[in-house]
Structures are given as C-alpha cells and as structure tokens.
Chains A and B, each alone.
Chain A
Amino acid sequence: MIVQFFVPNRLSEDATERASDWLIIIGAFAFILGVGSLIKTHGERLRRRHPDWPYSLLALAAFAGMSIVGVGWGIDPGKPAFWLFTNVYVPLDATMFSLLAFFVASAAYRTFRARTPEATVLLVAAVLIMLARVPLGAFIYEGLPDLAEQVLISPVTGAKRGIILGITLGVVATSLRIILGVERAYLGGE
C-alpha cells in the first residue's frame, strides 16, 4: 500500500486490490478459528460446570439458533433471521449504547472535582461547554455560546491537532521499526 501510494500505475493498483482480496479471504478463514475458539471456551465451561455456565449455554444456544435460522431460511427481510436481528439484536445493541449516557453522568460526577489546578480547569471548561450547549447558557449570559465556541476553536482544536501530530509521527516511526525489522515482538519473538 505504501508502494501504491507513490506508484499510480495500474499494476500497483491491481496488486493492492489483490492483496486486499486476500486479506478478506484470510479474514474469513480466521473467522472459523475464532468461532471454534468461542465454541471451545463455552463448551469447556459447560463441561466443567463452571459457576457461570448458564451464560455459556445461552451464548452457544444463541449462536446455534441464529446459524440454523439464517442458513436454513435466509436473511432477507421477512425471514425469521431478519426478524431476530431487528427485534432482538438491534434493541440489545442500542441498550448497550444507551448505557453510555449514564456512564458519562457517573464519570462526570466522579471526575469534575476541583482537587488540583488541572482538575479545576477541567471542571470550569466542562461546565462552560455544557451550559453553552443548552438554552439556559444563553439565558444566563448571551455571549456564553460564542465564548464556548472560541474555547472549542482555539485551545481545544490546537491541543487536538498537537495530539494528532504526535500520533502521526508515532505511526510512521512504529511502521519504520516494523518495516526495518527492529520491532519483532508482534510476531511472537523478541
């Protein structure tokens, strides 16, 4: 992909496309190993009557059920698998996502305390931005939304760009280490 970035020739495009196709194929086979691991892990828990074995039974039953229904009747709209996906999986997914709202509130409650100067700055900035986002902020002081916007435009964006700059350089350095063979730990070796 690095070569393809600098070499626009159709040959390099085709090679990159071919490599991407291979990645998808390998991913599909790796998925079989992943599912095998899932079945083995939960199967062992059932066999050994682990204290939490009902959860493992539920996981295996859900996996088997969706597989049978999906492969047997198809996954098009109107089929049982589509119904299960839309009426069971999607609400469960949304439920987990909705937990985020409560966790944001609990994290804010725990964190926004003026114990140190940095924590005080965090507290003031958070209150400022939260107030500016609701009509109450403009009611308290009509310039509050503009002030909050300036905070977001100047220091926040600047800090964010600085972090992204560091990340980009870190990515390039790590990639260079891997390409040059200096870093081999991810291959399972020193």
Chain B
Amino acid sequence: MRRCCLLLLLYIAALSLASCRHRPEVGPEPITTLVVRDRAEDTGGAIDLDWSGYAPPPSLDHYNIYRSRSAIPTVSGLRPIAKATKPDETTDAPTSYVDTPITDGLDYYYAVTAVDADGNEQRVVTGAGPVQSARQEPGPAPPLDVQVQDDDAPDDPGGVINLSWTLSPDDTGLGGAITAYQIVRLEQLEGEEKVLSDVLAGRSTYTDKSGDPKVQYYYGVRALADETVRSEMARSGAIISYGRWYNGNRTNVVVSLGIYAALVIFFISRARRGHELYVRPIPGIEALDDAIGRATEMGRPILYVSGLGGASGISTIAAMIILGRVARRVAEYGTPLLVPCNDPIVMNIEREIVRQAYLEAGHADAHDPDSVFFVTDSQFAYVAAVDGIMLRERPAACIYMGYFYAESLILAETGASTGAIQIAGTDADTQLPFFVTACDYTLMGEELYAASAYLSREPMILGSLKGQDWGKVVITALLVTGAAIVALAANWAPAAELAESFKNLFAAL
C-alpha cells in the first residue's frame, strides 16, 4: 500500500512537470506617455488618466489600469483596478480613464499597461504620480448628524454597525438634485476612505455588515449629485462593534435539547443501575444474523454498502457502527466481506473498523485489508461498479445502510436479480419506498440509528434508545396540545392569544 502511494505521488509529480510550459518574453510596446492630473472643476475624489500619445499595436486587446499609494516600478503582484476595453470590434480601446471615487488629499501613483489578444502584458512599466485630488467646486449640501450604533440583534456576529443621518437640505427625493448618498468607512479620522455603498436619495439609514468586530471605525456620508459632483463628507464619531456570545433567538432550541438530553441521560443512568429495558423487536435487525448465517452456509460473500453520504453525515456514522457489529460476526463465522466505498475518508475509517472487529474476534490473520476498498466518488459510476460486483461475485447477502440518492433502486433491483437476501436501512425518506419494495427487510429512519443498540445490547445504548422514545412521547403530547389549542382558538376568540403564544414558543425552531 505504501509503495502504491509512493508510486502514485511520483506519477502525479511527473505529470505536473510535463504540463509546465515555458513562456517566451513577448508583449506589446510599453506605454510611456501616461499623464495623470486632478480632475478639473469637480467636487473632489476623481483623477484623470490619459495616454492618448501611445500608438497601440494591431494585436491590442485592452489596457490594465493600476493604482497604488507608492511608486509602481513593476506591476508584478498588483491587481488592476480597472480594464479599458474596446467597446466593439471596429473601435479602438479608449486611451483615457477617470479614477473615482478616491480620497482627497492623499498621494496616488498610477500605471497603465497594454495587453494583447494572447494575454501578453507589456513587461516594462512607466508609472506616473504622485497626484492628489481636491475639491474645486462647491457641491450640494451635505447630510447632517451622522449617528452610528453597534447592532444589537440577538444573532449579531460582530462587525455590524447601523448608520443613520438627517437628509441633506438639497434632497428633494428621487429625481431631485441629490441622486444618492455615498457611505464610506475610515479606520482613522483622516485616513483612506473605503466606499461601502451608495444608497438612493430619500433614505437615511444603512447597515454595514462588512466590518470587523473590536476594530474602531469612523463613518462618513456624502450626498451625490452625480458621479463626480458630491458634497462635503459628514462624519460620525468613533464606533467599535462587538459580537454576541449567545443567540437569544435559539433559546427554544436550547430548552428542547436540554429536555431531550435529560431524558436520554436519565434512561442511560437507569440502564447502568441494572434496570431491564424492553425494546420492540425489529425484523430487519434480527434478519442480519440470518443473512450472515446464510452467506456462511452458501460460501458466498456479504456485500455491505454504506451509502453515498460523507464521513460527517450521521447516517454514514450509523452505517459504520453497524458495519463494526456485522464485521465482528463475519469474522467469527469466517465469511468473506466486500465493502465498496464511495468516499475515501469513509473508506479509511471503515478499514479500521473492520480490522478492529477481526482483532476482537480473535481472527486477525483472516482479515483482508482489501475487502474495504475505494471505488469512485461519482454517484452512478459507483452504482455501476457495485452492480458489477453483485453480478460477478454473487453475494449471498446485500446490506445497504446509510444515506442514498436515486441509485437506491438500481442497487436493490440488481441485488434482487441475483437472489441475495437484502437488508436496507436509510434515513433518506425519498428512497424508503424503493427499498421497501425491492428489499426483504428495511430499517426506516430512526430504526437505522437504533440498530446499534439492538446489535450490541449494551445497557447504556439501550437506555439512550428509551430516552429517544420518550422524546417522541413529549413531542406527540405537544402536537396534540397545539392542535387542540388551535382548534379551540378557531371557535373561541379568547383562546387566539394562547394559540399565538404557543406557536411563538416554537418559532425559528
């Protein structure tokens, strides 16, 4: 196995090297005529870029525009802030660009590179800058009284700030002089702005959900008349947001789980004290022993399919628990076991489970590690492989435990055609009808989770099963009570409030 994995890793490395390609040094002629200047007669926050003196090559596809707070000797490692592309095949790409919005009073550096149709970007870069933007024209009146507050919702993760402001005096609603309000966030009072969003004129609230908790922020709101005409910024005070440590909306879930856990723990402790616990017989679980015995007598293997769920799925974990019990009995009888797996993590876990089962049965030498093997993680490819195993190996018993999708009937029908005894267990309610019709025994839903208790007969696990049953009693009582209250409320008005309160107890559950 180790040699196989080593060979596989070397093979993958060789393929990776083979796929490397050497790129020759090509690219368009560099742009050396970039001019940057503050946009004239505006209200700030805009820089004009112009490279109209550049002669573009015929193969030009677009220009990349870069911005930085420091000089740009190379664009390696930088991401372009924009691309200037051809509007159509017959028109050249534009040779100017307006960078907005940016923060007034800060130095910015720019670079523009040409990219050809093959994706080659010019290698030599001639940057321009520094340049600052400034307000040159009076704009509309700014909004007033910007207030900020840490969000206090029960499910607040932190970093959520509610903003509110008084509308600009020039705001006459939609279609008026003000078109929108620009919301910006700063980490320092005079630092670089980060534009969060624009909200339509007439609105005076905004919620910022993109902040980090425990970080101090300042917020600013500007009124916009158009893209480059804007008011002075109205600033808020400093604000730090904190997340909640408990979601109050889920208190009913906590209470429900607490009651249920208390029932389970009560019956587990009862079982530990030696009380006998009765559980009803489930034919499917009792048939497991018969199936294993049948396979042993016929000298044919047992096929165990643990579904298509991942290792984190609770139904897959239940299937793995049952596999452990089945493997223990298979080891005692010396019956061959085949476990084709759909998930590599599940395969590794099941290998360990089966190996341990053989060890505990005292037949470690009879264990074949390759009896648990990976097939594929593709749904129908897996089904095709398992069907092929059934038709070639002719198992005497097919056991399907776990979560299944559309392939359930294909598996069950193929198994039925080979004459194998079939026992299925799944919590996929959409697949239960298929298993019920095609298999000899079916464990439906919760019976899959109860199988472990039945097979082990351990008092503590049986105790948890009793707790589970009493949980159902509690839920049934609540259902009947709720139905009665709602029916009463339909005919007697004073009961309506009681019905509403009862329904709210289970809201968001």
A contacts, CB < 8 Å to B: 5-11, 13, 23, 26-27, 30-41, 43-44, 52, 55, 67-68, 71-74, 92-93, 96-97, 99-100, 103-104, 106-108, 110-111, 160, 163-167, 169-178, 182-183, 185-190
Contact = CB atoms under 8 A, between A and B. Distances in A.
B409 interface: yes
A107 B409 contact: yes
Contact of B464 (A26, A68, A99, A176): A176
B289 interface: no
13 contacts: A7-B244, A8-B155, A8-B157, A10-B213, A23-B312, A41-B373, A92-B384, A172-B257, A173-B464, A182-B460, A185-B321, A185-B324, A188-B352
B317 A27 contact: no
Given A104-B409, A170-B446, A30 B9 contact: no
Contacts of B292: none
Interface in B247-287: 247, 250, 253-254, 257, 260-261, 264, 268
**What are the 5 tightest A-B residue pairs by CB atom distance, in nearest-first order?**
A34-B344, A170-B449, A170-B446, A9-B243, A34-B374
Nearest to B321: A185
Contacts of B156: 8
A100 B381 CA distance: 14
Interface in B336-357: 341, 343-345, 347-349, 352-353, 355-356
Contacts of A186: 317, 320-321, 324, 349, 353
Given A34-B374, A37-B347, A163-B432, A174 B449 contact: yes
B290 interface: no
Chain A at the B interface: SS class: helix
B4 A103 contact: no
Nearest to A97: B380
A183 B468 contact: no
B409 A13 contact: no
Contact of B452 (A9, A100, A111, A185): A185
A70 B247 CA distance: 47
Contact of A160 (B246, B260, B325, B429): B429
Contacts of A92: 380-381, 384
A99 B410 contact: yes
Contacts of A41: 370, 373
Contacts of A30: 344-345, 347-348
B9 A32 contact: yes
Contacts of A166: 445-446, 472
A27 B345 contact: yes
A34 B351 CA distance: 11
A107 B157 contact: no
Chain B CB within 10 Å — which of A11, A31, A186, A190 has the most? Answer: A186
Chain B at the A interface: SS class: helix
A164 B428 CA distance: 9
A99 B407 CA distance: 10
B440 interface: no
Given A110-B437, A182-B461, A186-B321, 19 more contacts: A8-B243, A34-B341, A35-B344, A38-B375, A41-B370, A93-B381, A99-B410, A103-B410, A108-B437, A166-B472, A171-B315, A173-B264, A174-B314, A174-B317, A182-B464, A185-B320, A186-B320, A186-B353, A188-B356
Interface in B305-319: 312, 314-315, 317-318
A173 B268 CA distance: 11
B6 to A, nearest CB: 9
B465 interface: yes
A33 B467 CA distance: 40
B159 interface: yes
Contacts of B507: none
A37 B374 contact: yes
Contact of B438 (A8, A38, A67, A107): A107
Interface string B377-412: 111110110001000100000000000001101101
Contact of A111 (B18, B388, B437): B437
Contacts of A97: 380, 406
Given A6-B246, A26-B345, A67-B15, A178 B158 contact: no
Contacts of B492: none
Contacts of A72: 15, 18-19
Given A31-B344, A165-B475, A178-B317, A36 B1 contact: yes
B471 interface: yes
A75 B247 CA distance: 45
A177 B261 CA distance: 10
A107 B19 contact: no
B247 A7 contact: yes
Nearest to B455: A185
A40 B373 CA distance: 9
Contacts of A160: 429
B488 to A, nearest CB: 21
A76 to B, nearest CB: 13
B444 A103 contact: no
B5 A5 contact: no
Contact of A9 (B245, B254, B343, B444): B245
Contacts of B472: 165-166, 169
Given A36-B8, A96-B383, A164-B445, A10 B467 contact: no
A159 to B, nearest CB: 9
B361 to A, nearest CB: 12
